[in-house]
A and B are shown apart, each in its own frame.
Chain A
Amino acid sequence: MAWPKPDELVQIDNTPPSGSWLEPSANYRKGAYCNSALPKSLDQVGMPNARNWKPSDADWKLPPDWKEIVLEGMRDRLERFRSFRLFMDICVRCGACADKCHFYIGSGDPKNMPVLRAELIRSVYRRYFTAAGKILGKLAGARDLTEDVLKEWFYYFYQCTECRRCSVFCPFGIDTAEITMIVRELLNLVGCNIHWVQEPVANCYRVGNHLGIQPHGFKDSIDFAVDEIEEMIGVRVEAPINKKGAEVLFVVPSADYFGSPHYYTLLGYLMLFHEVGLDYTFSAYASEGGNFGLFTSNEMMKRLNAKMYSEARRLGVKWILGGECGHMWRVVNQYMDTMNGPADFLQPPVSPVTGTAFDNARSTKMVHICEFTADLIRHGKLKLDPARNAHWNVTYHDSCNPARAMGMLEEPRYIIRNVCDRFHEMPENTIREQTFCCGSGSGIGTDENFEMRMRGGFPRANAVKYVKEKFGVNLLSCICAIDKATLPTLLEYWVPGVEVAGVHELLGNALVMSGEKERTTDLRGQPFAPQTEQAGA
């Protein structure tokens, strides 16, 4: 179908609706929601109420006792998770978060203010779990759980990407992503889930990665990358899979060996590891960094994450290195140790090249590729020629989870500054901890959700437009696979002429390898900028 044009979409209506916010509302129109999960992908992981249905249907085919299931689910989680009860109780509705959400900025819909989105469940919490709400009802901001309320939850909690920008501004430190996680768990209890999350979950559980790539397919893709590097660079690198006794297990998002532009980042990793002689291995089962269980339930996240430590143990490695993946780092940095650890069979990570001990990863035993690479550069272990990136004028998008869930702010910038001569930051309230989401994270980066993605990504794109016009930026670099999949569409829509690349693609361009043949193109096969232009760039 024909989607609205940018000049139409940018006419954002900020007039609040006339009715009470307690009245459930959800406008299931084309372009503003994701398709429902297929029965088979629920059955494959034993999740309830597998059926054919559509969010736009009047009848969602809920189980007859759906209301009891959801309320019992709430009660259970209020007891198990102190954070959930706290986040239901402590908000004073100060509104500091209200205009910080990219979906609110892009849609003007008040129910996308994080405070009001959270009130959609708090109102139900008050009605059934607080004395004031039970007695005073609406006067206390309480409302009954009805099917329309459930539909409203589904609509708005799949318009939150769990990016946690609002949480940066909350004086109480309420983690809005955790509220969204709980609501999505509750929706999952009655079979209300989306295809783009559920199929990757099922594929991960059965095969090890989102795409369902089996071991021979994985090997075929990695071998292809090795051949391409040899053709382009003249150096034969090794890329071992399931190699027992390697020092390091390397885990990447599966999109790195499937999609574009992700693939060029994969080339960068492989070249780097060869150049520093890293003894590492891929695993054909731990062949996915991403964990869409984070968008389903705690239990599913744990199940899907288990393969990392399990494969590390089976292969007998010392520690784990992780690639340019976004939400993986929230799972790894904040949950993995307590979910599936302690990984006391691994060793605290030490770079075999520089001897640097990564103390920050002492408990998880898992290091981010940007930490590893920045340390190599810092110790002068890499020969880099930034002129090979002279055709790029670069900015950096802090991918939400590496930035806000693990504080990965300096390392990517340090790498970029060492491999590119032209680097310009976007405005300070749109980067680092305050970075704006791509608008498509947490599993909602689907084709059918196009309008809402363009709305949600608008603040990010607007900041890119600023550096494009001011400094001539033509490349947005980032360290997340969802970014690499969805930002090209977003930028083509709002800021045509800016491309997207991983940080290790830029590193791969600049890396001078021993024994390389004369290089005339970057990893995409594009010719380097002529020497004269480089000097004046």
Chain B
Amino acid sequence: MPTFEANGTVYEVDEDGFLENPEIWNEAVAKDFAQSEDITDLTPDHWKVINYLRNYYLGFGIAPMVRKVCKETGFKLNEIYGLFPSGPAKGACKLAGLPKPTGCV
């Protein structure tokens, strides 16, 4: 099982570097994983997206639609890419501790 280490904590992750056990997530995890996405500082805008994703995931067991993320957070898609360079389904979901979506996406 691959691992990811940051600030002295070792996390079990999948091959894409996503948290293996989404239930252990907390804000410190998001801060640690920010490094793996080359995000140096988590701003209130980052947290807005992360918290939205996290809450949706707790309710529905899955990430929300990309369009819904944009609308509910008020960010355009390119602005989300500005915050999370690998995009809403990858970078943003990774920091929020969600599993990576699979299929025709």
Nearest residue (CB) in A for B102 is A199
Q: Footprint of B on A, CB under 8 Å?
A: 35, 38, 52, 54, 195-196, 199-200, 203, 209-214, 216-217, 220-221, 224, 228, 253-255, 257-260, 262-263, 290, 292, 325, 445, 447-448, 480-482, 484-485
CA distance A210 to B103 in the complex (A): 5
In-complex Cβ contact of B105 among A217, A448, A485 (8 A): A485
A482 in contact with B104 (CB, 8 Å): yes
Q: Is the CB of B66 within 8 A of A195?
A: no
Q: Which residue from chain A places its CB closest to the CB of B90 in the assembled complex?
A: A447
* B66 contact set on A, CB distance < 8 A: 258-260, 263
B interface size (C-beta, 8 A): 21
Residues of A within 8 A of B28 (CB): none
User: Would A210 and B62 count as touching, CB distance under 8 A?
Assistant: no
Given A220-B60, A263-B66, 14 other A-B contacts at CB below 8 A?
A: A35-B15, A35-B16, A195-B15, A196-B102, A199-B102, A210-B102, A220-B64, A221-B65, A258-B66, A259-B66, A290-B103, A325-B104, A480-B104, A481-B104
Contacting pair A211 B62 (CB below 8 A): yes
Q: Are A255 and B104 in contact (CB under 8 A)?
A: yes
Question: Are A214 and B62 within 8 A (Cβ)?
Answer: yes
Q: How far is the CB of B75 from chain A (nearest CB, A)?
A: 13
- Shortest CB distance B9–A (Å): 22
* Cβ-neighbour of A203 out of B60, B102, B104 (below 8 A): B102
Residues of B within 8 A of A262 (CB): 104-105
**Chain A positions within 8 Å of B71 at CB level:** 224, 228
Cβ of B39 within 8 Å of any chain A Cβ, yes or no, is no
Contact A485 B104, CB 8 Å, known A195-B15, A212-B62, A263-B66: yes
Q: Sample 27 A-B pairs with CB under 8 A, ordered by A number.
A: A35-B15, A38-B14, A195-B102, A199-B102, A200-B103, A210-B105, A211-B103, A212-B61, A217-B60, A221-B68, A224-B65, A253-B104, A255-B103, A255-B104, A257-B65, A258-B66, A258-B101, A258-B105, A259-B65, A259-B89, A259-B104, A260-B66, A260-B67, A262-B105, A263-B67, A448-B15, A448-B16
Contact indicator A259/B105 (Cβ below 8 Å): yes
Distance in angstroms from A439 CB to nearest chain B CB is 14
Most chain B CB atoms below 10 A, which of A196, A210, A480: A210
Interface centre among B71, B90, B102 (most CB of A within 10 A): B102
Answer whether A447 and B16 are a contact pair too, CB < 8 Å, given A214-B60, A260-B66, A263-B66.
yes
Task: Tell me, in angstroms, the Cα distance from A292 to B101 when the chains sit together.
Answer: 15
CA distance A38 to B102 in the complex (A): 13
Chain B residue nearest to A253 in the complex (CB): B104
Chain A residues lying within 8 Å of B64, measured Cβ to Cβ, are 220-221
- Judge if B77 is at the interface, Cβ distance under 8 Å: yes
Residue of A nearest to B101 (CB): A211
A325 to B103 alpha-carbon distance, docked (Å): 12
| Closest 3 A/B residue pairs (Cβ) | A210-B103, A481-B104, A217-B60
Chain B residues with Cβ under 8 A from A260's Cβ?
A: 65-67, 77
**Contact residues in A for B104 (Cβ distance below 8 Å):** 210, 253-255, 259, 262, 290, 325, 445, 480-482, 484-485
B102 CB contacts on chain A under 8 angstroms: 195-196, 199-200, 203, 210-211
Of B1, B64, B66, B101, most buried by chain A (CB within 10 Å of CB) is: B101
A218 to chain B minimum Cβ distance, whole angstroms, is 9
CA distance in complex: A364, B61 (Å) = 34
Nearest-Cβ distance from residue A204 to partner chain B, whole angstroms = 9
Given known pairs A203-B102, A211-B103, A255-B104, the reply for A263 and B65 (CB within 8 Å) is yes
